[in-house]
Amino acid sequence: MITKKLDTTKENIKIAAQIIKAGGIVAFPTETVYGLGADALNEIATSKIYEAKGRPSDNPMIVHISRIEELDLIATEISNTAKVLMEAFWPGPITFVLKKKECVPSVTTGGLNTVAVRMPSDKIARELIKESQTPIAAPSANLSGKASPTNAMDVLEDMDGRVDAVIMGKECQVGIESTVLDLTSDTPVILRPGYITKEEIDKVIKIKTEFDNSLFINPSEKDFHPKSPGMKYKHYAPKAEFKIVKGNGIGIDKVIKELRDKAENEGKKVEVLYYGEDSEKAAKTFFADLRRLDREDVDLIISASLKPEGLGFSVMNRMMKSAGYDIICVEEENDDSIS
Ligand code: TXA
Ligand code: MG
């Protein structure tokens, strides 16, 4: 199939919306990552997404809306807590899991009786949904298992020839996927950490949220049963070997240097990712960095762990998966030179 590359003109958004209405699939920018969209209420259209991504069909998709009125079309039993959260964070990078309405095909929700809904803040995404006159089901626009694309060229790398069109928008502002919050039981549960943090959520509601336990379990362990189907699949794996060095002592730099020197002596191409404690920057560039290192045929990637707090926790959730949980813990060293 020939993939149309559409610049972000009004005309082109209309062309993309026509494709969605006709049951086609279009990749488009959002503030988090690029999505691969189809009419959420058309099961033939949404099943094309699984095919284009090579994605297991039990992995449900997020349904994107542009106005709050569209929520009643697809979800029911919307609690006061849900309304407060929507008021506080929508449009924006947070997805709520709610009871689904009959009209949402089970192909879209991977057979679940719940539906994940998000109202993105990105203007192009909102315009596309509005023009399409239907909610848009969209997972991230990558081949299953690869890092989510955060710019149009990275989308084309995976999707050229596999989708009807790509809207060639700007680089995504956030760079990691939305927070997924399950609101179907009394306690809100974070199924996937994202840009909106637990601390921010807990500030606006009376009930304290919890993290899904599986977020703290290595997926290779047998008691790993995430509530969000997507969290169980292999994710974001680069071609290179990837090691994370963790600890808060000055020993980290020494360990990274030793790892680098040893691998380089063996003739390997090594790249160290430095984010310091800048979790905003890490979120924005990590996925693009992984894709670049794949293209550069790097053999070993080394990165220091970020503090697993707030947005840092969300970035580390992705980083640990990409590294296949290959983590080296450095004991804190006493630095006698500081008096
Ligand atoms: O930022 C984002 O969320 C991006 C953009 C395009 O909006 N989308 C995205 O979609 O990351 P995807 O399909 O790559 O990830 C959706 C996650 C998966 O882990 C999936 O299992 C979970 O949300 N999910 C979707 N529907 C669910 C449901 N009904 N119950 C539990 N988890 C659900
Ligand atoms: Mg994804």
Give the range among 85-89, 213-217, 298-302 with minimum mean pLDDT. Answer: 213-217
Give yes or no for residue 221 having a pLDDT over 80: no
Q: How far apart are CA 60 and CA 112, in angstroms?
A: 8
Closest ligand 1 atom to 194 CA:
1
What's the pLDDT at 338?
Answer: 40
Residue 331 predicted with pLDDT over 60: yes
Contact 45, 23 (CB under 8 A): yes
Kindly report the CATH class assigned to 4-175. Answer: alpha beta
Check pLDDT > 90 for residue 234.
no
pLDDT band at 333 (very low <50, low <70, confident <90, very high): low
pLDDT recorded at residue 339 = 34
Tell whether the model's pLDDT for residue 47 goes beyond 90: yes
pLDDT in tens, 22-32: 999 999 999 99
One-letter amino acid at 226 equals P
Domain locations in the chain as residue ranges: 4-175, 241-331
Cα 94 from chain centroid (whole Å): 11
pLDDT over threshold 50, residue 337: no
Percent of the chain clearing pLDDT 70 (strictly above) = 96
How high does pLDDT run on average in the chain?
94
Angle between helices 279-295 and 152-159 (to 10 degrees): 40
Q: Which of 3, 23, 30 is nearest to 127 (CA)?
A: 30
Mutate to test the pocket of ligand 1, among 34, 77, 106, 140 (most ligand atoms within 8 A of CB): 140
pLDDT of the residue at 197: 98
The arithmetic mean of pLDDT across residues 116-138, rounded, is: 98
Do 116 and 97 form a contact (C-beta atoms < 8 A)?
yes
162-207 per-position pLDDT tens digit = 999 999 999 999 999 999 999 999 999 999 999 999 999 999 998 9
pLDDT of 298 strictly over 70: yes
Rounded-to-integer distance, Cα 214 and Cα 19, Å: 38
E-strand stretches of the chain: 4-6, 26-28, 35-39, 62-64, 75-76, 94-100, 114-118, 136-137, 165-167, 179-182, 189-192, 210-211, 241-246, 270-273, 300-304, 327-329
Neighbours of ion ligand 2 (CB under 5 A): 140
Q: State residue 219's pLDDT score.
A: 79
The response to whether residue 178 sits with its C-beta less than 6 Å from ligand 1 reads yes
Whether the CA torsion 91, 94, 99, 100 is positive or negative: it is positive
Q: Is the shortest distance between the CB of 108 and ligand 1 below 6 Å?
A: no
Residue 255 pLDDT level (bands cut at 50, 70, 90): very high
Please give the distance, rounded to the nearest whole angstrom, from the Cα atom of residue 312 to the centre of ligand 2: 19
Per-residue pLDDT, averaged over 244-251, amounts to: 85
Q: Distance of alpha carbon 308 from its chain centroid, rounded? A: 17
Residue with tokens 């969000």: 228
Q: What is the mean pLDDT of residues 295-311?
A: 97
Q: 35 and 176 in contact (C-beta within 8 Å)?
A: no
**CA 63 – ligand 1 centroid, Å:** 9
Per the model's pLDDT, the better-predicted residue between 295 and 251 turns out to be 295
Site to substitute for ligand 1 among 25, 104, 179, 180, most atoms within 8 A of C-beta: 180
For residue 302, the model assigns a pLDDT of: 98
Q: What is the CATH number of domain 241-331?
A: 3.40.50.11030
Q: Pick the ligand that lies closest to the CA of residue 91.
A: 1
d(CA 180, CA 96): 6
pLDDT digits (tens, 9 = 90+) for 236-247: 889 999 999 998
Q: Which atom of ligand 1 is nearest to the CA of 95?
A: 3
- 35 strand-pairing partners: 28, 140
Band of pLDDT at residue 59, cut at 50, 70 and 90: confident
